[in-house]
Structure 1
């Protein structure tokens, strides 16, 4: 007579285990504009807080323009400033008799710029420089004196065009509130953005701004290398 096998009871865990779902994932809904992706489940609030914040990118662009009937000397000065700022754009002349504020705001919006340097010539002898932040301001007006263009100077240096400058300010800019505002505007306009497509990734010249007798003096110095002077003996 054959022997009977002993009956072993399956563990309760195996009985209650579920089989994995081998079915195909749900297809996205099709619309007139193509397939619509499925909306993923909402993540907890803690996951959103831990997400990395995108780094700040300076997208400053400066528009440089002038008024009509400007003299050749002031026009050459504007060209020199334009060559020092790789993130600047040049536009056609603006009629100074009209409303300059509305005209400049429209030009800045069309050229996708946030700042403006406007050279206004009056009576073909006085030059005024407007520094404008668009669209809400502020704006600063300067009377330009002691103009010296690059063609008039000697030993102008040979720093690379498009390189980023270092900005230095005298201590007078931190004494009064209006000079602090002027310093901030100069920093935003004359500082070349780091990732600009026309900018070189190094510094080889310095912009110096100083206040003397209530006047703002601007100088551009080339930063020399030690190799230019030779090694010390």
Structure 2
């Protein structure tokens, strides 16, 4: 009996050792390169999802810009084009169906003007921009390149921290363009920089690649300028939190250009009328030739007599 009890004790001790044995943890290097195999991804906590869509009737350049933004955001979701007649509140319903809490909505008017909405669904806030100076990746043909799905470094102008409305836009840009850590479709390293600068009351967007050899920056596109129009307290609606006093609508800008051209024509017509008013008019001047005085010359005989009289006066 004693032998059996000893065997049981040994078995229980061996089981206890196996249970309490701690698993080995692999120690990873502090620096990783793009050529190394990816690490086994852990559970990602930041559940930001961005819906990118546009209305029907956008131009080819606007469509390429939208596709470039989708390529930069692996946590984005797409949706077929919505009708231009539908209200903007339909975007909130689409976001709920797609399980998205952020949205980038492009709207084209007159096939000339491109507007971009960024919104926090469903409670807001939201901002409306006029997109100017659009240049896509295919149009620029830059030499730089970055890996698809890599996380970006967001660079903001110091002006974003000096004004309240710019601080709000900075937080919205961080939540939309900042790729969540450990996202299944993202890469675990930083390969490019998204730059947001403020100049002439406009936000200038640039995308640069971080060159691995020397750490320099190479622009890869796209590039565009955001002209802020208004900021609303809810998603695509609500009270106006900020309205840009320096904003000029595209229709008004085109009207100003036409007025400048018409002013040149008006000045030319007024100068012509002034010249006509300065010229002599009436029946007494009808037969008068302005060039008759050119041919009023002195005859040779008179000229000789005048010359002799002058010679005699000088001799006396």
TM-score, normalised by the number of residues in structure 1: 0.72
Equivalence for 1:150: 137
Please state if 1:73 is matched with 2:32.
no
Match for residue 48 of structure 1?
none
Paired position in structure 1 for 2:91: 104
Q: Which has the larger share of helix?
A: 2
Pick the aligned partner of 1:197 from 162, 184, 196.
Answer: 184
Secondary structure at 2:152's aligned position in 1? strand
Deviations 1:138-186 (A, max 9, x none): 1000000000011111324121000000001000101111100000000
Query: Please, which of 160, 165, 174 is the counterpart of residue 161 of structure 2?
Result: 174
Distance 2:172 2:85 in 1: 26
In the aligned structure 2, how far is the partner of 1:81 from the partner of 1:145?
16
CA distance in 1, matches of 2:161, 2:66: 28
User: Given that residues 163 and 203 in structure 1 are in contact (C-alpha distance below 8 angstroms), is that contact kept between their aligned partners in structure 2?
Assistant: yes
Show the counterpart of 2:75: 87
Deviation, 1:56, is 8.6
CA–CA separation in structure 1 for the residues paired with 2:214 and 2:55 = 44
Show structure 2 runs of 5+ residues with no match. Answer: 1-42, 217-316
Give the conservation status (yes or no) of the 8 Å contact 1:150–1:156: no
Displacement of 1:227 in angstroms is 6.0
Kept after mapping to 2: 8 A contact 1:67/1:121: yes
Kindly indicate whether residue 70 of structure 2 is the aligned counterpart of residue 120 of structure 1: no
Could you list the structure 1 runs, at least 4 aligned residues long, displaced by more than 3 angstroms after superposition. none
Cα deviation code 1:202-230 (max 9, x no counterpart): 0010000011011100000001123689x
Root-mean-square deviation (Å): 1.6
> CA separation in 2, counterparts of 1:129 and 1:69?
14
Q: What displacement does 1:57 show?
A: 1.8
Give distance in 2, aligned partners of 1:219 and 1:163: 16
Q: Distance in 2 between matches of 1:143 and 1:92?
A: 22
Larger Rg: 2
Tell me which residue corresponds to 2:46: 58
Is the contact between residue 163 and residue 204 of structure 1 (CA under 8 Å) also seen in structure 2? yes
**Count, aligned residues:** 174
Helix, strand or coil: the match of 1:146? strand
